[in-house]
């Protein structure tokens, strides 16, 4: 096992598109979303068991979720749990982890992954990651995993690549964030676009160099803390540093700007589980096309996804193509075709009913 390989799990998001199941005080990455006895975070950490030593796994999360992370991943030391004082998107998150790990091992290669993705083909995934790490360790390149699209989904970012013959890792031509349906269909038809998985592989030297070139203001902020990383003074520095960081994603801040970004096409059974429809898509359906997690009785109901507390009996009649989701003090019933309104529902619940409902 390569001791220069490190995994950074980003676990600080709220997952608002998965409301009401995902809540501010208990986001979806800490839930057993698939009903298999493991949270999304636990599944993600387990996914890298054959990629790097356990001491090389780091989790970046919001300070409010420190107890949840340590409860679900008790094998992590305090130094492996990076606490963000406020959410500032993925660029500051990745910068924090990169500076910290660079101080521990300047020859480190990083795999950066969200905590809330599903990978169904574990053996293939492990092999893909190892191949990507090998490539990133040899050249000054930034790699993202690309997923062949199965539908014109408007919720994903798309990558257009240059199809060089026999090249497993292909140079990226363009990034497009969440296109409209017509454009997504054009991408699908063209055959040279893939979904951006949001899983990245690079050497710590390459990503810090990219920050220096394209997000130099973040470099200036974190350079001041080089001497305190992995010391008791780290958290105080991070609190101060984040107050100066702007909200910016790694895609917008770096990946869309650099000329050394590559994509590795990966058939790994991937889903980002960002929405109720994505959960519906990957789950087994009953004879009427329903996905059910809970104590449920169905009549004349088809093509629905139902996730309710197991201690409550739910009876549904006459529904077609709906989301029925209950968690804690909120029950939501919404057409699957209108699930883009979930974030709106959450915002309205906050403004009308208060923070107890979000």
pLDDT per position as a tens digit, 248-268: 999 999 999 999 999 999 999
Helix (H) or strand (E) holding 184: helix 181-190
For the cut 90, the answer to whether the pLDDT of residue 164 exceeds it is: no
C-alpha neighbours within 13 Å on the C-beta side of residue 23: 19
- pLDDT tens profile 280-307: 988 999 999 999 999 999 999 999 999 9
- pLDDT tens profile 82-119: 999 999 999 999 999 999 999 999 999 999 999 999 99
- Please, which residues bridge with residue 83 across strands? 61
- pLDDT tens profile 9-60: 999 988 888 999 999 999 999 999 888 899 999 999 999 999 999 999 999 9
Residues 121/18, Cβ–Cβ less than 8 Å: no
Strands 109-114 and 5-10: parallel
Ranking 6-10, 164-168, 274-278, 282-286 by mean pLDDT, the lowest is 164-168
Distance CA 59, CA 41 (A): 9
Q: By percentage, how much of the chain surpasses pLDDT 90?
A: 83
- pLDDT confidence of residue 151: 84
- pLDDT confidence of residue 15: 85
Residues of the chain with CATH 3.90.550.10: 5-271
Token representation of residue 340:
């883009």
For the cut 90, the answer to whether the pLDDT of residue 159 exceeds it is: yes
- pLDDT confidence of residue 48: 97
Residues 172/160, Cβ–Cβ less than 8 Å: yes
For the cut 90, the answer to whether the pLDDT of residue 192 exceeds it is: no
For the cut 90, the answer to whether the pLDDT of residue 340 exceeds it is: no
- pLDDT confidence of residue 177: 80
268 DSSP 8-state letter: S
pTM above 0.75, yes or no: yes
Rg (CA), the chain: 21
Strands 330-335 and 313-317: unpaired
User: Which of the four CATH numbers 3.40.50.1170, 3.90.1150.10, 3.90.550.10, 3.40.50.2300 does domain 5-271 have?
Assistant: 3.90.550.10
Distance CA 93, CA 8 (A): 10
């Amino acid at each position: 096992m390569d001791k220069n390989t490190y995994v950074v799990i980003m676990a600080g998001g709220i997952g608002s598109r998965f409301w009401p199941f995902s809540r501010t005080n208990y986001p979806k990455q800490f839930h057993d979303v698939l009903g298999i006895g493991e949270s999304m975070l636990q599944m993600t950490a387990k996914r890298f068991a054959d990629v790097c030593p356990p001491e090389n796994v780091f989790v970046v999360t919001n300070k409010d979720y420190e107890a949840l992370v340590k409860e679900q991943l008790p094998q992590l030391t305090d130094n492996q749990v990076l606490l963000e004082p406020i959410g500032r998107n993925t660029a500051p998150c990745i910068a924090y982890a990169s500076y910290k790990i660079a101080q521990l091992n300047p020859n480190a290669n990083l795999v950066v992954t969200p905590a809330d993705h599903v990978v169904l083909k574990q053996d293939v995934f492990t092999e893909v990651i190892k191949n990507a790490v090998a490539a990133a360790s040899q050249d000054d390149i930034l790699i993202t995993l690309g997923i062949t699209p199965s539908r014109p989904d408007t919720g994903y970012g798309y990558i257009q690549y240059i199809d060089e013959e026999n090249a497993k890792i292909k140079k990226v031509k363009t990034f497009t964030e969440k296109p409209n349906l017509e454009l997504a269909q054009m991408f699908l038809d063209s055959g040279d676009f893939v979904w951006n998985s949001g899983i990245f592989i690079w050497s710590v030297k390459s990503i810090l160099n990219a920050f220096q070139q394209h997000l130099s203001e973040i470099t200036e902020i974190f350079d001041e803390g080089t001497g305190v990383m992995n010391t008791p003074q780290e958290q105080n520095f991070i609190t101060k540093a984040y107050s100066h960081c702007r909200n910016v994603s790694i895609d917008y801040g770096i990946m869309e700007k650099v000329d050394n970004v590559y994509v590795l096409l990966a058939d790994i059974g991937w889903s980002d589980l960002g929405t109720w429809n994505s959960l519906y898509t990957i789950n087994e359906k009953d004879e009427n096309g329903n996905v059910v997690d809970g104590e449920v009785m169905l009549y004349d109901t088809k093509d629905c996804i139902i996730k309710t507390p197991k201690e409550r009996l739910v009876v549904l009649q006459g529904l077609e193509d709906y989301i029925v989701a209950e968690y804690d003090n909120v029950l939501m019933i919404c057409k699957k075709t209108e699930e883009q309104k979930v974030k709106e529902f959450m915002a309205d619940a906050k403004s009308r009913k208060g923070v107890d409902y979000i």
